[in-house]
Structures are given as structure tokens and as C-alpha cells.
Amino acid sequence: MIQVFTTLKEILHARSSRDSSASIGFVPTMGNLHQGHLRLLQEGLKHHEQIFLSIFVNPKQFGPQEDFLKYPRTLEEDLNKISTLLSLPDYQGKDVFIFAPKDVEEIFPPGFSSSISVGEITKKFCGKSRPGHFDGVTTVVYQLFSLISPHTAYFGQKDFQQVLVIKKMIQDLSLPVQIKMIPTVRQENGLALSSRNQYLNTSEQEKALVLFHTLKYIADLIGKESWQKAKEKVQEFISQTLQDSAWEYLEVCQQKDLSPPADNTHQLVILGAFRLGKTRLIDNILIN
């Protein structure tokens, strides 16, 4: 069964009247759900008695020139997708509580003036090209954690830097929430699912594959040898690739904090951001 809350009052009432022994999972989203979001929800449904999913296009994480106004808002279709999922034998009898604030003021009431800013890790990669983006993310996620009080929150590896930023916020502020990162769900051709893929026309969809193919090529180079042996080749390949101005960044870093890898680093992540017209796509591959 699905229950939808659209106001702050309703969600606070649901929090205060729920069974305090129930384990609560939470999936924050901006809606326009696809199989990537649904994987997070499925994982949550497996592990918790109650699962909350929020649908909120958060203005604070969009820059002034970004796509906040045109971001796809498809609540009815989203609810249908969740109902369809709940009709599968694995999930029958399960409840999903949706928090879909009817307007921005339900989350950020007039006069709201607080902000959570995590520091260092928010300044590079996506944070560099989208100033203030991660402050917007952490502020809304902190607010949603306060309203829902989940035990575990589910995030996608697709936004790997975001996962690190949220984990750092939780650590710094001693929040009682566990984070689970779910692997990226892709189309058969490798393109990571994203709500922004629908901005792409057919030829851009083809070109978008460059992002995954490039990350994969680098992953194969490192996988065959080790970072220490592959690094010169990889760095040469990356600097050639970056000559194409469609690339915003492409880099190999340490998984733990996105710092440059040392020769003996085993847990690496290859991160890339690629622009196609006005659409900006990000992706990453982990190497363990």
C-alpha cells in the first residue's frame, strides 16, 4: 500500500504516531523515478519494516542557470511505478510512505535561513562547477532526516561524491543514520540511468556513451596492471581526452575522500562529467 504525505504537519504526525520499534528505511529522490531509484527502494523494502521515499525537487541544489524549473515533475507516474513494484510477489503486503511536499515551503518555510556546509570534499569535481550545490544537498537531506528519523538511508553510487559528502555530514554531526550505497543501474549499452537522459535527442544519446566507454577503458587499463604500473598511461590518456571541451572533469582518485591516489592505493574511483549541449551527465566506476 502507498500512503502519500504532502505537508510538514502530516509527515510529523506520521513520525510521532509510528511504532517506535519498527526499522525505518529512507530513499530521498527528486522524483521522475526510473529503475535506478526503484533499485534503492527495492533494497529498502528488503531490509525495513517501514520505508519512506521522498519526492522533492530541491531548489537549493540548483544553480541560477540550471534546470530547476524544467526538471521533470511526474508525481502521478511515479506513484504508479511504485504501485506496480508493490504488486510483485516479493513486496506484497509492504507499505511505502511517500513524502511529496506540495510546495517548497513545506520543507523550507518562509524565513528558513540555516544551511549545512560540509567543507573540503564539496569543493571539487561537481562542487567546483556547481558552487553551492552540495550545501543545497546536505541542507535538504539533513532536514529530511530530521523529519523522518530513518535508521538507514539509501543513495546511489551514480552520485558517488554525494554519498561521500552525506557520509561526512553524518560523521561530523554524529547523526544516527546509516548510509547504504547501491550500485549504478545502467541501460544495456552502459549509459547510467538518469532523469536528465530524457533531455538528450537520439544523436546525443549515442554520444553520451562516450562517458561510460571512457571510464570503462580507464578501468580496464588499471584492472590489467595496478595503479602504480598503469598510472602514466592513464594520465596521458586522460590529458588527451580532456582536450575535448565537452569534458568537465575526468580523474582517478581514492574512493575514501577523492584525494589523488598513492602508488599503493587499491580502492580507486574513476569519475567523469561530460556535457552534451545544455545537459551535464556524470558517471563513475569503482576499482577495488
State the Cα–Cα distance between residues 238 and 217, nearest whole angstrom: 11
118, 121, 147, 192: residue in contact with ligand AMP (rule CB under 6 A): 192
156, 164, 261, 274: residue in contact with ligand AMP (rule CB under 6 A): 156
Region for residue 179 given its phi and psi (left: phi exceeds 0; alpha: psi -120 to 50; beta: otherwise):
beta
40, 169, 208, 234: residue in contact with ligand AMP (rule CB under 6 A): 40
24, 26, 39, 48: residue in contact with ligand AMP (rule CB under 6 A): 39
Count Cβ neighbours within 10 Å for each residue of 20-44 and write b for 16 or more, e otherwise. eeeebbbbbbbbbbbebbbbbbbbb
Residues 220 and 236 sit within 8 Å (Cβ to Cβ):
no
Is 47 designated active site? no
Q: Which is nearer to ligand AMP, 18 or 81 (CB)?
A: 81
Side-by-side strand order, sheet with 279-287: 247-254, 268-276, 279-287
Residue 44 contacts ligand AMP per CB under 6 A: no
Q: Tell me, what amino acid is at 62?
A: F
* Binding span for ligand AMP by CB under 6 A among 16-24, 37-45, 228-236, 274-282: 37-45
CB atoms within 10 A of CB 223: 14
5, 11, 24, 37: residue in contact with ligand AMP (rule CB under 6 A): 37
Question: Rounded to the nearest whole angstrom, what is the least distance from the CB of residue 241 to ligand AMP in the complex?
Answer: 23
Residue at grid coordinates 515551503: 105
Residue 127 contacts ligand AMP per CB under 6 A: no
Residue 60 contacts ligand AMP per CB under 6 A: no
5, 11, 36, 94: residue in contact with ligand AMP (rule CB under 6 A): 36
* Binding span for ligand AMP by CB under 6 A among 36-44, 126-134, 169-177, 235-243: 36-44
Cell for 128?
Answer: 567546483
Residue 167 contacts ligand AMP per CB under 6 A: no
Residue 200 contacts ligand AMP per CB under 6 A: no
Closest CA to 160 of 33, 47, 268, 24: 268
Q: Which is nearer to ligand AMP, 35 or 201 (CB)?
A: 35
53, 144, 182, 281: residue in contact with ligand AMP (rule CB under 6 A): 182
Residue 30 contacts ligand AMP per CB under 6 A: yes
Beta strand pairing status for 2-5 and 178-182?
unpaired
Question: Secondary structure of the chain: what % helix, strand, coil (to 5)?
Answer: 45, 20, 35
Backbone dihedral angles phi then psi of residue 191, each to the nearest 5 degrees = -60, 125
Catalytic residue, chosen from 13, 34, 37, 266, is 37
Q: Which residues bind ligand AMP (CB under 6 A)?
A: 29-30, 36-37, 39-40, 155-156, 158-159, 182, 184-185, 192-195
Residues carrying an active site annotation: 37
